[in-house]
Copies of this chain bind each other. A is one copy, B any other.
Amino acid sequence: MQNFTFYNPVKIIFGKGSIPKLGGEAARAGRKALLIYGGGSIKNNGVHEAVTDSLVKNGITVVEHAGVKPNPVLTHAREGVKKAKENGCDIMIAAGGGSVIDEAKAIAAGARYDGDLWDFFSGRAAIKDALPVFTVLTIPATGSEMNQGCVITNEVTKQKFSTVSPKIFPKVSILDPETTLTLPAIQVANGGVDALAHLIEGYFTTRDADVTITDELVHAIARSVISGTDRIRVNPGDYDARASMMWSATLALNGLQSLGYGGTSFANHAIEHSLSALYDIAHGAGLAIIIPAWFKYHLKTDGPGRLEKFGSAVFGVKTAEETITAFEKWFGKIGEPTRLSEAKIPAADIPEIAENAMGLIKRWGMSYDLKTVEEILKKAK
């Protein structure tokens, strides 16, 4: 078990009817909110009204910043920074899924910075200050509501890059599972894949195979993500499944999932981000394509041990090959593609995708070369 530091000061308010608590929490931090959201689904499910009601009742003025895209883009985040500065906003309210929260974190940091926002993602600057962020989560998936990371896509350079700083931990995140009851099945599936992906990155790239407690936690959260996704498919109105799924996805990337492993290499994410950046496919769908291919590569380089352990604990299978098949079968069952061809991405593009992925692989300090990434992608044909 390797040394680690763990610190996560996010306050979670969880459960049905929790949104009215937002205003009171936010009012301790500021008076003028930039309300960040996406395509407007929160106007149909009552979240927008509940959020603004609670803010206004607590004396907070609201400036809107709508239209965040599923893979949030730099130009829109820059607009948000401009709006926050011009209006003197002192709190960020994100109402939506991980993309909305990520853009809110980026704007929060950008609003307290004189240079260009992209500096934080390109590695030119570190985040030294940020406005306080509050979130109302509506899609269980990314874990952004309880961590210090965010991802933004630069449309010009076609780079989907990330940044990390304790300054962008949300102050308070409200998780009301009832807001997810109307989520389409494919978004539930995408969220399930994403949460599972967060769990496996550390587990399969660990420098240390003797970390019982973290292995146990990863197995536990993975089983819960899978059973939650499955129950919701059968009965979308199952509140307890929605609730368990929501908290599971948060726990899948709040830091606990990799403690003692001695560092996590986000290999699947590094390659998938290129699929999202180049083809604008859903992050979950891209991961479902990359993960089985990456496992096949991983099995060759690292042997069957971890795949066997995970497969036995989570899927009840024995061999490494059976574990990979179990992943593929489950992805297929919940409606995800597991091959590039299923997502209509031509095999002829593999060199270009690999070339793009190298940007993030270098940025994250991973050792993969271009040939390795191409080899992994070829297994996903």
Contact = CB atoms under 8 A, between A and B. Distances in A.
A86 B115 CA distance: 51
Interface in A123-174: none
A201 B370 CA distance: 53
Across the A-B interface, the 10 shortest Cβ-Cβ residue pairs: A3-B15, A220-B220, A216-B220, A1-B243, A9-B9, A210-B240, A212-B244, A7-B11, A6-B12, A213-B224
A216 B212 CA distance: 15
25 contacts: A1-B239, A1-B240, A1-B244, A3-B17, A3-B18, A4-B14, A5-B11, A7-B9, A7-B10, A208-B240, A210-B240, A212-B240, A212-B241, A213-B220, A213-B224, A213-B228, A213-B244, A213-B248, A213-B251, A216-B221, A217-B220, A217-B221, A220-B220, A244-B260, A247-B260
Nearest to A208: B240
A208 B247 CA distance: 16
A373 B4 CA distance: 43
A5 B12 contact: yes
A247 B259 contact: yes
Given A223-B216, A240-B211, A244-B211, A14 B3 contact: yes
A219 interface: yes
A227 interface: yes
B213 A221 contact: yes
A227 B211 CA distance: 12
A235 interface: no
A8 to B, nearest CB: 7
Interface in A189-233: 208, 210-214, 216-217, 219-221, 223-224, 227-228
Contacts of A87: none
